[in-house]
Amino acid sequence: MKVAKFGLLLPALLPLLAGVQSCTLGVPGGTYQVDTFAFVPTKPAKPATEPQPSVWIDTNLKLSSLSGGTLTSSLPCSVKVDYTDNSETIEAAVFTSVKVTYDDAVVEPAVKTLKLPLRIKAREYEAVNSVSGGKIVHGTVWHISGEIPKLITRDQPLRIEIKGYFAKKDGEQIPIAIDQHFDIRREKGEKPAVEVLQD
């Protein structure tokens, strides 16, 4: 199973798994009518001298059942933001400017409804790792994870530009400058359930 693709499909699976108390493992049966789109970075983000969060676009993947049916994407889409702070010094990510421009030069009107600055706080999570000898090591990781909801209203190639800063606990600000172009990838047709669920 490809981890990246499973991560995108997981939100579609969770509502279906919520009511499942027990199941028998086996090869999934049935087929799916697939009608999805995905925003794919056209090239890696430019290397930055300062730490920068990663951005991706959630296309609201929805799976109708675990045994066949439909797999669909839908608008509007949210922009997701993630960053792991191994230094444990960053308090929050603050976005002061957000712009979405489609390849036909139309600027996304939903941007005007954003209340800026947008602040996403860092949260502490427990990390569990195993080392040689079977010893388990517990540690903590500070992670910034959030979204800019319902920002994308067209399933067309686009560019996202975000400016702001990381606010450190000592008051220092580290500039954030994201400039990422996304192409659109579509999939439509019929697929066996085993292929959909393993993707």
**Total domain count, the chain:** 1
Helix (H, G, I), strand (E, B) or coil at 157: coil
Structure confidence by residue, pLDDT tens digits, 106-146 = 999 999 999 999 999 999 988 777 666 778 877 788 999 99
Question: Which residue shows structure tokens 């409804």?
Answer: 113
Among the listed residues 155, 176, 191, the one whose alpha carbon sits nearest the alpha carbon of residue 95: 176
| Single pTM value for the model | 0.80
Full domain range(s) for residue 56: 3-17+28-198
- In single-letter form, the type of residue at position 4 comes to A
Query: What is the spatial distance between Cα 167 and Cα 199, in angstroms, rounded to a whole number?
Result: 37
> For residue 22, is it within any domain?
no
> For residue 148, is it within any domain?
yes
Cα dist. 15→4, 76, 77, 140 in Å?
A: 20, 20, 19, 29
> For residue 151, is it within any domain?
yes
Structure confidence by residue, pLDDT tens digits, 162-182 = 999 999 999 999 999 999 999
> For residue 23, is it within any domain?
no
Structure confidence by residue, pLDDT tens digits, 20-53 = 444 545 566 789 999 999 999 997 766 667 789 9
